[in-house]
Amino acid sequence: MENETSGTFEVNLTLISKGDGDISSMLITKIFHGGLRGSSVGQMLAYRATVEGSAGYVAIERVTASLGGREGAFTLQHHGLLNRGAPSQTVVVIPDSATGALAGLTGIMTITVTPGRHDYRFQYTLPG
């Protein structure tokens, strides 16, 4: 069954360490509202280039939430680039990471950031 939901989320990033050069690691915590209701924790590695508007990040976050009337947890993998101000991003559910009533979940999340706001659109499939 193919599904789609959307909503907003609040995110908090806490610096864990500033490595050599411009690579940083951060703790991520989020609260999701809308069709996906719950929270997540994760870690991010990020690099900011010397050219204004260019950067990259990778992250893994564990989401514990209610989705489509089901409760459980799953893990998202992020890959994001900013190429002189032009963003590109891939956020996917890691295969076989979902547990509880969300076991078997697959999906792709799209994140849109505007000043003071984070929105998501989540296209997903649940078995049964």
CA–CA–CA angle 41, 12, 58 (5° rounding): 60
Number of domains within the chain: 1
pLDDT tens for 6-19 read 999 999 999 998 87
pLDDT tens for 112-123 read 989 999 999 999
Q: Which of 105, 46, 117 is nearest to 76 (CA)?
A: 105
Q: Decide if pLDDT at 95 tops 80.
A: yes
pLDDT tens for 55-88 read 999 999 999 999 999 999 999 999 999 999 999 9
Q: Which of 51, 1, 62, 10 is nearest to 31 (CA)?
A: 10
Mean pLDDT taken over the chain: 95
Compute the chain's Rg from CA coordinates.
Answer: 15
Domain, as residue range, for 48 = 2-125
- For residue 120, CA distances in Å to 51, 58, 91, 108 come to 28, 18, 10, 10
Is 14 strand, coil or helix? strand
> Domain of 55: which CATH number?
2.40.350.10
Q: Which of 51, 40, 41 is nearest to 16 (CA)?
A: 41
Predicted local confidence at residue 1, as pLDDT: 55
